[in-house]
């Protein structure tokens, strides 16, 4: 025996137990070799993590197993707290153990806990159907610590709970923990028993109801009564619904099945649910359209500022419908209206749907398609599935109550696809005027005429809409608002709405246009007006607080100083002049899902390293544009007075700031070429110039998209000269007139023209040398 003792601790052999907890007074047999040791420390272990407290165990027998193996019989004595560890000459691990046998004293609280624990355990044993032996064993234990340790015998206690129990050395705390665990067991067993009793009573109730219903059926037959009242009720509703002939035929077949099988069949509820959905579709109900183009335009103008393209298209639709009706032209089921509004967030795409419905006198229903991945959301589930339902279109018609509502398909560009199907493919039939007059929902399985529905789809980017689906849409682009338009929208819509929401009256607070312009230019940078409305709400909340606390007396005029005081430091700056003051920095223009933006492109060079390094989370197309830009500048080296040896002996680094944002596209080609040319010649780019255009190896400038969004962003950033591709000249007609008056546009055909317009005449620092 190699016990090494001092005053407080004893050194014992450590026996780790993988996912096993042995408590004092337990007897176990383990297949371990303990040598000549008389006592050992049994410590629970899980995932190489040891418990802090173990059980000091006495070796009561040594057993030789067949095959030469050894085992020992052990009896748990008391707890021991493991301390420092060390190995002996044979590699065995010994630990210093502070022995902690249970105290023999027991106060009144411990006795009370003992009584509660015994009562809970007896109740558990009663629920388990114990034959009395375990109860007798528990009653025979007189020591409170040993009584608490009987929790370790429970099969429902987890390993973690047992370790926690073992590590509780104090007897009172251990009894409290044991009582808590056993109460949880008791509560769980009582819930299980109630569930079992409820299930058994439910089965008995169903059997009883079945017998009673069979008897009731027999009594009704004897009296000459049957379930015809339900069938007749459905038949009356079907006649009132004025269903199309093919739909009525389908409904009659289902009603006949219901009549034959009776109301007690499990299939009856499925058939009744199907008939209820057939009747929920407003087959014969239509809104009375107001075919007045002037009234339509007035309503649209009253609700929204700008957006002339959309308003013109709606007025055209109403005018055509009016002429067809007045001249007796038969309705064409293949001439439905399907508009798709593409543009940045906050530009009024969703809200204009309600205005269109109000202007035309139709009902309005909004369907949000963002994130849906299941085709059944559009077409519905087949009736073979439990809990099957029609698709969203049928539900939209039910909610509208007419067959000719305005249905808005919101966020159509964010429809997903996975193993359950592709909802965008299901939309192909819905949004095709040549097909949607015979749309078939999987659940109803009858043809639905959607040709009279006015579909309006919205999205932020057309690029994420599948090509076949986009081909069926009439796309109208929302390219954002100018500063003047935002001020007009704030005056006419946002400000009155926020005044009302913040509990103020119109005569109590006002704001001049110059203060609104300040909010637009210094505190927002967006294509829409959502952030603008939030900022106005902030200003009004602070004003309302001052009025409510009697710090100011209405009426209050919010000038520029009051706005700055409410909104704090300015959030956006016009930094074009500062950024382009050194050679190697050019100002580009970009179009994103949230509108246009100004993009700074920086270039530098050094002697060693890769020939061209690109940073800023650039996509493949943008990386190729940078390589083309470098090659085109190299071809122009003699004209620009650049030493051609530079391209062999120096490396170049092109960076696009805002590195956390992914960027891609070819339209930054001429901007990258300008930045490189500026770097190599030492001539900075004019701070008033922004540019956009794709570049070729021959130095030609190719057209780009999103010009209006880019120009509006440049205008907001204070740029007064914009270089654009010559083939984008016709797109200038889409630019608002007040913006065209303030910006000089320079259509170009080649990179030579770009550099002539963009670079300063004289260098501000020496050009790069070898």
Q: How many residues does the chain have?
A: 770
Tell me the average pLDDT across 68-84.
86
- Which has the minimum average pLDDT: 213-217, 231-235, 552-556? 213-217
Distance CA 456, CA 407 (A): 6
Catalytic residues: 667, 710
The mean pLDDT of the chain is 84
Q: Are 612 and 606 in contact (CB under 8 A)?
A: no
289 burial (CB, 10 Å; 0-12 / 13-18 / 19+) is: middle
What integer pLDDT is reported at residue 3 of this predicted model?
A: 43
What integer pLDDT is reported at residue 2 of this predicted model?
A: 43
Dihedral sign, Cα of residue 230, residue 249, residue 403, residue 236: negative
The DSSP-derived string for 407-456 is EEEETGGG---BTTB-HHHHHHHHT-TTTGGGEE-TTT-SEE--TTSEEE
Taking 90 as the threshold, does the pLDDT of residue 703 lie above it? yes
Mention every residue, 6+ apart, whose C-beta is less than 8 A from residue 380.
Answer: 388, 389, 390, 391, 394, 441, 442, 443, 444
Tell me the average pLDDT across 650-666.
84
Mention every residue, 6+ apart, whose C-beta is less than 8 A from residue 716.
Answer: 483, 521, 525
What integer pLDDT is reported at residue 579 of this predicted model?
A: 63
What integer pLDDT is reported at residue 374 of this predicted model?
A: 81
pLDDT in tens, 503-524: 888 888 999 999 998 898 888 8
Question: pLDDT band at 201, cuts 50/70/90?
Answer: confident
Strands, DSSP E only, in 607-670?
Answer: 612-615, 651-655
What integer pLDDT is reported at residue 333 of this predicted model?
A: 62
Cα 100–Cα 101–Cα 105 angle in degrees, nearest 5: 120
Taking 60 as the threshold, does the pLDDT of residue 225 lie above it? no
At residue 502, φ and ψ (nearest 5 deg) are -95, 15
Closest CA to 584 of 666, 674, 458, 464: 674
Mention every residue, 6+ apart, whose C-beta is less than 8 A from residue 14.
Answer: 40, 41, 43, 54, 82, 85, 93, 94, 95
Question: pLDDT band at 754, cuts 50/70/90?
Answer: very high
Distance CA 737, CA 735 (A): 6
Two tokens, residue 231: 């069938």
pLDDT in tens, 158-192: 888 888 888 888 888 888 888 888 888 888 888 88
Question: pLDDT band at 1, cuts 50/70/90?
Answer: very low
Taking 80 as the threshold, does the pLDDT of residue 4 lie above it? no
Distance CA 283, CA 507 (A): 50
Cα 356–Cα 357–Cα 359 angle in degrees, nearest 5: 65
Taking 90 as the threshold, does the pLDDT of residue 82 lie above it? no
Report the phi/psi class of residue 401: left, alpha or beta, with left for phi > 0 and alpha for psi in -120 to 50: left
Taking 80 as the threshold, does the pLDDT of residue 389 lie above it? yes
Taking 60 as the threshold, does the pLDDT of residue 6 lie above it? no
DSSP percent split of the chain into helix, strand, coil, nearest 5:
45, 20, 35
Distance CA 732, CA 744 (A): 11
Question: pLDDT band at 5, cuts 50/70/90?
Answer: very low
Distance CA 679, CA 637 (A): 12
Distance CA 671, CA 691 (A): 6
What integer pLDDT is reported at residue 537 of this predicted model?
A: 92
Query: Between these two residues, 6 and 667, which has the higher pLDDT value?
Result: 667
Dihedral sign, Cα of residue 677, residue 679, residue 682, residue 684: positive
What integer pLDDT is reported at residue 348 of this predicted model?
A: 81
Two tokens, residue 207: 């059997």
Question: pLDDT band at 691, cuts 50/70/90?
Answer: very high
Exposure of 700 in the CB half-sphere (CA atoms within 13 A): 5
Distance CA 619, CA 533 (A): 34
Most confident of 317-331, 410-424, 567-581, 685-699: 685-699
Distance CA 289, CA 601 (A): 54
pLDDT in tens, 554-576: 888 888 888 899 888 888 776 55
Mention every residue, 6+ apart, whose C-beta is less than 8 A from residue 623.
Answer: 614
Peptide bond into 555 cis (omega under 30): yes
Q: Are 56 and 100 in contact (CB under 8 A)?
A: no
Q: Which residue has the tokens 């920095």?
A: 585
């Amino acid at each position: 025996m190699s016990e090494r003792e001092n005053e407080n601790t004893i050194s014992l052999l450590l026996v780790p137990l993988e996912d096993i907890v042995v408590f004092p007074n337990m007897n176990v047999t383990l297949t371990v070799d303990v040598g000549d040791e008389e006592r050992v420390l049994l410590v629970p272990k899980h995932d190489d993590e040891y418990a802090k407290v173990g059980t000091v165990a006495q070796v009561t027998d040594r057993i030789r197993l067949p095959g030469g193996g050894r085992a020992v019989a052990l009896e748990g004595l008391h707890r021991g707290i493991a301390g420092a560890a060390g190995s002996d000459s044979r590699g065995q691990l010994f630990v210093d153990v502070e022995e902690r046998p249970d105290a023999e004293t027991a106060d009144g609280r411990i006795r009370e806990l003992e009584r509660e624990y015994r009562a809970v355990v007896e109740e558990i044993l009663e629920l388990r159907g114990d034959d009395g032996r375990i109860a007798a064993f528990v009653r025979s234990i007189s020591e409170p610590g040993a009584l608490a340790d009987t929790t370790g015998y429970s099969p429902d206690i987890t390993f973690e709970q047992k370790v926690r129990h073992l590590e509780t050395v104090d007897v009172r705390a251990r009894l409290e923990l044991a009582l808590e665990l056993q109460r949880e067991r008791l509560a769980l067993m009582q819930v299980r028993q109630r569930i079992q009793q409820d299930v058994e009573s439910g089965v008995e109730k169903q059997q009883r109801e079945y017998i009673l219903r069979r008897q009731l059926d027999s009594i009704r037959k004897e009296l000459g009564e049957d379930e015809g009242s339900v069938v007749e009720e459905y038949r009356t509703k079907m006649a009132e619904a004025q269903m199309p002939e093919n739909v009525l035929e389908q409904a009659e077949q289902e009603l006949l099945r219901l009549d034959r099988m009776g109301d007690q069949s499990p299939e009856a509820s499925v058939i009744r649910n199907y008939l209820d959905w057939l009747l929920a579709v407003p087959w014969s109900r239509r809104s009375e359209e107001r075919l007045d183009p002037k009234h339509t335009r007035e309503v649209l103008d009253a609700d929204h500022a700008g957006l002339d393209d959309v308003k013109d298209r709606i007025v055209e639709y109403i005018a055509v419908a009016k002429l067809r009706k007045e001249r007796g032209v038969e309705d064409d089921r293949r001439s439905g209206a399907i508009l798709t509004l593409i543009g940045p967030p906050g530009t009024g795409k969703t809200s204009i749907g309600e205005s269109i419905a109000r202007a035309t006198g139709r009902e309005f229903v909004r369907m949000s398609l963002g994130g849906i991945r299941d085709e059944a959301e559009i077409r519905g589930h087949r009736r073979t599935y439990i809990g099957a339902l029609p698709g969203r279109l049928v539900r939209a018609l039910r909610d509208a109550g007419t067959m000719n509502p305005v249905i808005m398909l919101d966020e159509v560009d964010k429809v997903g696809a996975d193993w359950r199907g592709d909802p965008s493919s299901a939309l192909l039939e819905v949004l095709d005027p040549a097909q949607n007059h015979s749309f078939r929902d999987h659940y109803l399985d009858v043809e639905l005429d959607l040709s009279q529905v006015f579909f309006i789809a919205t999205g932020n980017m057309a690029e994420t809409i599948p090509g076949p689906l986009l081909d069926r849409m009439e796309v109208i682009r929302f390219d954002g608002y100018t500063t003047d338009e935002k001020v007009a929208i704030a005056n006419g819509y946002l400000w009155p709405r926020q005044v009302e929401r913040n509990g103020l009256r119109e005569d109590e607070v006002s704001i001049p246009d110059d203060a609104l312009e300040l909010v637009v230019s210094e505190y927002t940078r967006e294509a829409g007006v959502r952030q603008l409305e939030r900022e106005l709400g902030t200003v009004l909340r602070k004003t309302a607080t001052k009025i409510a606390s009697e710090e100011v007396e209405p009426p209050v005029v919010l000038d520029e100083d009051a706005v700055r005081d409410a909104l704090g430091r300015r959030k956006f700056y016009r930094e074009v002049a500062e950024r382009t003051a050194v050679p190697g920095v050019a100002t580009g223009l970009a179009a994103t899902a949230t509108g246009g933006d100004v993009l700074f492109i920086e270039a530098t060079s050094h002697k060693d390293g890769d020939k061209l390094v690109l940073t800023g989370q650039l996509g493949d197309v943008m990386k190729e544009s940078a390589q083309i830009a470098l090659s085109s500048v190299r071809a122009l080296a003699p004209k620009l007075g650049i030493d051609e040896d530079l391209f062999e002996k120096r490396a170049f680094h092109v960076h696009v700031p805002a590195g956390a944002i992914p960027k891609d596209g070819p339209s930054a080609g001429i901007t990258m070429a300008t930045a490189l040319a500026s770097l190599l010649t030492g001539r900075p780019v004019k701070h008033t110039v922004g540019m956009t255009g794709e570049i070729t190896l021959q130095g030609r400038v190719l057209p780009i998209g999103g010009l209006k969004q880019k120009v509006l962003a440049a205008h907001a950033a204070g740029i007064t000269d914009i270089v654009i591709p010559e083939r984008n000249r016709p797109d200038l007609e889409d630019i608002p007139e007040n913006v065209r008056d303030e910006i000089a546009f320079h259509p170009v055909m080649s990179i030579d023209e770009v550099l002539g317009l963009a670079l300063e005449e004289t260098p501000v620092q020496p050009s790069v040398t070898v």
